[in-house]
Structure 1
Amino acid sequence: MALMITDECINCDVCEPECPNDAIYMGAEYYEIDPHKCTECVGHFDEPQCVQICPVACIPLNPEHVESRETLMQKYQRLTAIKVTAVSPASSAGV
């Protein structure tokens, strides 16, 4: 499952920089999580970092985006492959 941020969010700005997948962004009223980028930190950490750091505990699992650990790992691999390709020396050298 991807995570979600509820309307209990106080916009304290601590979760956004903790997300290794850049899935957290400022929405219209409070922070939101892009379920296509959220891996619950699978592949990066043992626990979701945003959940660990949130001072008001407003980041539950998103019931609309149910995913197995295997699916989350596949998403992690896809997202990190994109990052590696985007910043690799070969891609910036025009090779």
Structure 2
Amino acid sequence: MAYQILTSQCISCNLCLTVCPTNAIKVVDGQHWIDPELCTNCVGSIHTVPQCKAGCPTCNGCVKQPSDYWEGWFANYNRVVAKLTNKQDYWELWFQSYSQKYSEQLQKRQSQTMGAEA
């Protein structure tokens, strides 16, 4: 899985150009991009992490490019949910809130049903 440069996050510092061991990073019409044919994620090199990501001052400029549609969809979804909630336990909190409200409604109906029978 190659990396890609998020143009909205890229500040055009050109640091990634100098650190890429395979020269996979190109600038076309002022936009930085990583050639997926040349990008090896720095596997097989002396580096233990991809250098474009390690050297990026924005920390969000270089991200892994998903290998299939659903992997990309879930990665984007998780990133957006994390930004919206600033919490990793979003679904757990949602479930607790939902189950609490459902339980309250169920108890209310049961009491109404019991009151109607008496």
TM score, norm. by length of structure 2? 0.52
Measured in 2, the distance between the counterparts of 1:61 and 1:12 equals 20
Percent identity over paired residues: 38
Alignment correspondent of 1:37: 38
Deviation above 3 Å: which 4+ runs of structure 1? none
Secondary structure of the corresponding residue to residue 60 of structure 1: strand
Secondary structure at the aligned position of 1:51 is classed as helix
Give the Cα–Cα distance (whole angstroms) in 1 for the partners of residues 53 and 6 of structure 2: 12
Structure (1 or 2) with the greater strand fraction: 2
Q: If each structure's helix is expressed as a fraction of its own residues, which one has the higher value? A: 2
Q: Computing the radius of gyration over CA atoms, which structure comes out larger, 1 or 2? A: 2
Q: Quote the residue 1:61 is aligned against.
A: 64
Aligned length: 65
Q: Deviations over 1:19-71 (max 9, x none)?
A: 11010011223211000000000011110011001001210001147xxxxxx
Give ranges in structure 2 of 5+ residues lacking alignment: 69-118
TM-score, reference length from structure 1: 0.63
Gaps of 5+ in 1: 66-95
